[in-house]
Structure 1
Amino acid sequence: MDIDHLTAAEAAAHADRARQALTAGAAHIQPATIRQWAARGHLTATGLAEDGRTRTYRLADVARAEVATRARALRLIGMRKV
């Protein structure tokens, strides 16, 4: 796995670990969430994976998108903003 460029599934796993730490396991991030962030303009694809069709995202961009969407996610599960 190229740590700088992640597929939606790999990006979700990284972002999920961060969100899990903040929410004590109450909030999860799925690959579909990564794709939604991209569709909504929070995240930009940076290339294609080796299969030639799976989009990849930079880890730093995934982290920024996670931070940008965190407050809403925490509100939805009833937690205060961190």
Structure 2
Amino acid sequence: MDPILLTAAQAAAHADRARQALSAGAAHIKSCTIRQWRSRGHLAPTGLAEDGRTRLYALADVARAERATRSRALRMVGMTETR
């Protein structure tokens, strides 16, 4: 089965839904966050879109990056993560 590939904007929307649910709307994820995750080594592009410029990210990798950065993000908005 082929992985689901997302652009940075799509990845941000997906991760934002998860973060919103956990933070009661207090923490957001934007496209620039996805690019920061990439530059910080939390997320690696899986390929390029047909335009040859837009990076694509695997949905599973986005979920892992969101999970890896979640506790710090929730601390920044004054919340604690419950497991």
What TM-score bracket applies, with the shorter chain setting the length? over 0.9
**What SS class does the counterpart of residue 19 from structure 2 fall into?**
helix
Report the counterpart of residue 37 of structure 1 in structure 2: 37
Report the counterpart of residue 78 of structure 1 in structure 2: 78
For residues 1-82 of structure 1, what are the structure 2 equivalents within 5 Å? 4-82=4-82
**What SS class does the counterpart of residue 56 from structure 2 fall into?**
strand
Aligned length: 81
Q: Cα deviation per residue 1:8-66 (whole Å; 9 max; x = unaligned)?
A: 00000000000001111100000000010010000010100121101000000000000
TM-score w.r.t. the length of structure 2 is: 0.93
- Cα distance in 2 for partners of 1:41, 1:49 equals 21
Where structure 2 has 5 or more consecutive residues not aligned to the other structure, the ranges are none
TM-score w.r.t. the length of structure 1 is: 0.94
Aligned residue type for 1:11 = A
Root mean square deviation, CA, Å: 1.4
- Cα distance in 2 for partners of 1:13, 1:81 equals 21
